[in-house]
Amino acid sequence: MSDRIRVAEIFGPTIQGEGALIGLPTIFVRTGGCDYRCSWCDSLHAVDAAYRDSWAPMAASEVMAEVERLSGGQPMMVTLSGGNPAIQPLGPLIRRGRAKGYRFALETQGSVARGWFADLDMLVLSPKPPSSGMEVDWALLGRCVEAAERAPVVLKIVVFDEADFAFAREVAAFLPRLPVYLQPGNHTPPPPDDDSAAVDQAGIEERMRWLVERVIAEEWFEAHVLPQLHVMLWGNRRGV
């Protein structure tokens, strides 16, 4: 089973809701399993082992067949997310898809480095700030950048408060060559089996305004401050 990918869900086409590819049409392949457990995780159905029975073990060929079915055979961006997709054997899927003209972006917290990062069209590193309750292994984060080789790498950091903002500055100083995308955090993820769209939209907007003000006050003019577009449009609903 080591060559099987644990898949929580495959859906789309929809748009990428955040980061450097915001607004771009994409298909999502969300893998199951994670080596982190963030306090505000919005994807517990792909993280919590209690839901592992719903994760389908799939061969790369099976995943690619579903991606092609959803896209109507038209090559497009495929977003690999989780959980932490870096713990899955995704190299064969990426190579198979790119041979057919598909592009691949992967988002990970940067806790596991893989040689196949170099085959990606974009690696999104999203190290988790203090509000998550997790701690960053800086050496591993650096290895992820090295593993990507010439593939584009960007930083995407969730910010809830001053401690998170200071963390974002620290990460940017540690990896000064990488573009930085900041987004306000979402405090109200639904239970994994709840398809409701409920969000604290007023709170998110307030944090967004605060984050813009902090970036400008710090004269951090290289940072990109973006909302979670999918949350604005669909709340916390899954599969969109």
Reported as a single tens digit per residue, the pLDDT across 43-60 is: 888 887 888 888 999 999
How many other CB atoms sit within 10 Å of the CB of residue 5? 22
Low-confidence ranges of the chain (pLDDT < 70): 1, 187-198, 230, 232-240
Cα-Cα-Cα-Cα torsion 195, 201, 207, 212, nearest 10 degrees, comes to: 110
List all residues 6 or more positions away from 209 whose beta carbon is below 8 Å from its beta carbon: none
Structure confidence at residue 1 (pLDDT): 46
pTM summary value: 0.91
Domain positions in the chain are 5-234
The residue whose two tokens read 């392949």 is 29
- Per-residue pLDDT of 84-99, as tens digits, reads 999 999 999 999 999 9
Reply yes or no: is the peptide bond before residue 13 cis, omega within 30 of 0. yes
CATH architecture classification, 5-234:
Alpha-Beta Barrel (3.20)
Structure confidence at residue 202 (pLDDT): 82
H/E run at residue 233: helix 229-234
H/E run at residue 95: helix 91-99
Q: What is the layout of strands, in order, in the sheet containing 103-108? A: 56-58, 5-15, 25-31, 77-81, 103-108, 122-125, 153-159, 180-184, 224-225
Cα(115)–Cα(137) distance, integer angstroms: 18
| Paired residues of 107 in beta bridges | 124
The residue whose two tokens read 């951090």 is 220
Cα(97)–Cα(94) distance, integer angstroms: 5
Burial class of residue 176 (count of CB atoms within 10 Å of its CB; 0-12, 13-18, 19+): exposed
3 state DSSP class of 142: helix
